[in-house]
């Protein structure tokens, strides 16, 4: 199998691209539409969150509306967001450890349609493999050594993962190559206008992803003052100088969950899965026309999900704090 666009970047190139970024403490608030211009056709895009949790859905929705092309998308575990990326033609390459609709719904017929037919690639790594790739990218080293993926076919079909004999112990190790996406899309509960981001609950691989990427677009449930950030700096998980754009998008992970704010919008997801798994081409086209290209704004999309769904998801989301 050929090596994709996710090849290891030379250290000097990494440093150069970082040195060109404006790392000053400045306001970076833009609209979803403006943020989409940070993503070029053919870019490698790292996606934050995991499965159906804290997915930057509004940003993905906007990239589809902007008719981006040939994105190479990496995420630790990818679900219906991956469907939309492939089904819309925005992406033809997914790098992940797991790609399905979600545990409750099983296989993705959309993924199967695109991958089995050869229209798109899905490069599988172990979950830790994805973590070590983002970690190496964040650390500014070309690889991280690890022990899983050895002996399995997951390692065998990934020529980018090299087996290596440890120079200290002689033990066999596997080297996971650094992944430094051109752009990372990360959704958080709150950040300030500079991009100091606080993440509640499950962090997944987002901190490494933010440090590894050459640009970061943050979407956030709400923008708070820098004073509020400074009152609890230990809660800040991504520093402002990693961030290039901040977009305030309430319910920006819908219909997925955002820890402590809302749980998944299950009725919408149930109906979505039934429609696209029933007809991965026609059903997907219908969904995109109706829910992605149809509404004028993200709030219009939320209105189509419906007040009952959103209130129920919000009540369940906040219940994490109830005893």
Partner 1 sequence: MTEQNRHTASEMLAILSARQLKEGQVVFAGIGVPLLAATLAQRLRCPGLTILFEGGVIGAFVEPGKLPPSTNDQRCTKRANMVLGSAEVLLLLQRGYVDVGFMGGAQIDKYGNLNSSFIGDPEKPKTRLPGTGGGNDISSLTNMIVAMKHEKRRFVDQVDFITSPGFIRGGKSRAESGLPEGGMFRVITELAVFGFDETSRRMKVLALNPGITREQVQDNTGFDLIFDDQVSITEPPTEHELITLRMLDPDRLFIA
Residues that bind partner 1 (CB under 8 A): 1, 50-53, 76-77, 96-100, 102-104, 107-108, 111-112, 115-116, 122, 124, 126-129, 131-132, 134-135, 146-154, 157, 163, 171-174, 201-208, 257, 259-260, 263-264, 317, 320
* Closer CB to partner 1, 226 or 235, in the complex: 235
Is 125 in contact with 113 (CB distance < 8 Å)? no
C-beta of 33: minimal distance to partner 1 in Å?
A: 30
C-beta of 68: minimal distance to partner 1 in Å?
A: 24
The H or E element containing residue 223 is strand 216-223
Is 181 in contact with 44 (CB distance < 8 Å)? yes
* Closer CB to partner 1, 122 or 298, in the complex: 122
* Closer CB to partner 1, 163 or 289, in the complex: 163
C-beta of 284: minimal distance to partner 1 in Å?
A: 17
List CB contacts of 42: < 8 A, sequence separation 6 or more: 5, 69, 70, 71, 72
Is 279 in contact with 87 (CB distance < 8 Å)? no
Q: Give the residue among 198, 159, 192 at the shortest CA–CA distance from 175.
A: 159
* Closer CB to partner 1, 25 or 104, in the complex: 104
C-beta of 115: minimal distance to partner 1 in Å?
A: 5
Is 8 in contact with 44 (CB distance < 8 Å)? no
C-beta of 99: minimal distance to partner 1 in Å?
A: 6
Is 56 in contact with 38 (CB distance < 8 Å)? no
The H or E element containing residue 220 is strand 216-223
Q: Give the residue among 216, 44, 23 at the shortest CA–CA distance from 123.
A: 44
C-beta of 225: minimal distance to partner 1 in Å?
A: 26
* Closer CB to partner 1, 70 or 124, in the complex: 124
* Closer CB to partner 1, 45 or 205, in the complex: 205
* Closer CB to partner 1, 27 or 116, in the complex: 116
Measured CA to CA in angstroms, residue 215 lies from 5, 167, 210, 241, 291 at distances of 16, 35, 8, 10, 28
C-beta of 108: minimal distance to partner 1 in Å?
A: 8
Is 313 in contact with 265 (CB distance < 8 Å)? yes
């Amino acid at each position: 199998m050929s090596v994709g666009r996710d090849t290891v970047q030379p250290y000097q190139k990494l440093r150069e691209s970082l040195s060109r970024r404006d790392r000053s403490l400045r306001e970076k608030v833009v609209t979803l539409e403006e943020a989409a211009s940070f993503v070029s056709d053919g870019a490698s895009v790292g996606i934050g969150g995991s499965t159906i949790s804290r997915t930057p859905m509004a940003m993905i929705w906007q990239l589809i509306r902007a008719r981006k092309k040939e994105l190479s998308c990496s995420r630790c575990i990818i679900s219906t967001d991956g469907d939309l990326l492939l089904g819309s033609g925005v992406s033809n390459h997914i790098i992940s450890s797991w790609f399905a609709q979600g545990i409750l719904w099983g296989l993705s017929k959309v993924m199967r349609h695109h991958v089995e037919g050869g229209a798109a690639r899905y490069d599988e790594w172990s979950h830790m493999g994805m973590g070590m790739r983002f970690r190496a990218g964040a650390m500014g080293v070309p690889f991280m050594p690890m022990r899983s993926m050895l002996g399995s076919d997951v390692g065998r079909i990934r020529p980018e993962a090299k087996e290596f004999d440890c120079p200290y112990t002689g033990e066999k190790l596997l080297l996971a190559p650094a992944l430094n996406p051109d752009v990372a899309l990360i959704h958080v509960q709150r950040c300030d206008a500079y991009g100091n981001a606080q993440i509640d609950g499950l962090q997944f691989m987002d901190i490494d992803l933010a440090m590894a990427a050459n640009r970061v677009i943050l979407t956030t449930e709400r923008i708070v003052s820098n004073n509020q950030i400074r009152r609890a700096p230990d809660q800040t998980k991504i520093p402002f100088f990693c961030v290039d754009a901040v977009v305030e998008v309430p319910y920006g992970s819908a219909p997925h969950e955002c820890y402590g704010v809302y749980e998944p919008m299950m009725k919408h997801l149930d109906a979505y899965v039934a429609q696209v798994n029933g007809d991965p081409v026609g059903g997907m086209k219908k969904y995109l026309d109706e829910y992605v290209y149809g509404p004028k704004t993200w709030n219009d999309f939320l209105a189509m999900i419906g007040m009952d769904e959103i209130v129920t998801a919000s009540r369940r989301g906040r219940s994490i704090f109830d005893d």
